[in-house]
Amino acid sequence: MRQKYEKKQLNSICSEFAQHKKIIGKKMPIFAQEYKIAK
């Protein structure tokens, strides 16, 4: 039972991380453009 719960927790952390990666992926080109302009 506990193992099942830990796996569920791990899955939620993984999905949260995947969402963050998506957000970062969307923002990265903007950051790259700003960096080029700043340089």
| Interval 1-39: pLDDT, tens | 678 878 888 889 878 888 888 877 787 787 778 878 877
- Per-residue pLDDT, 13: 82
Q: Classify 32 as helix, strand or coil.
A: helix
pTM exceeds 0.75, yes or no:
no
Q: What is the largest CA-CA distance in the chain?
A: 55
Which residue's structure tokens are 């700003």? 34
For the chain, which residues make up each domain, given as ranges? 1-39
First to last CA, the chain: 55
What would the two tokens of residue 25 be? 């992926």
CA–CA separation, 1 and 24 (whole Å)? 35
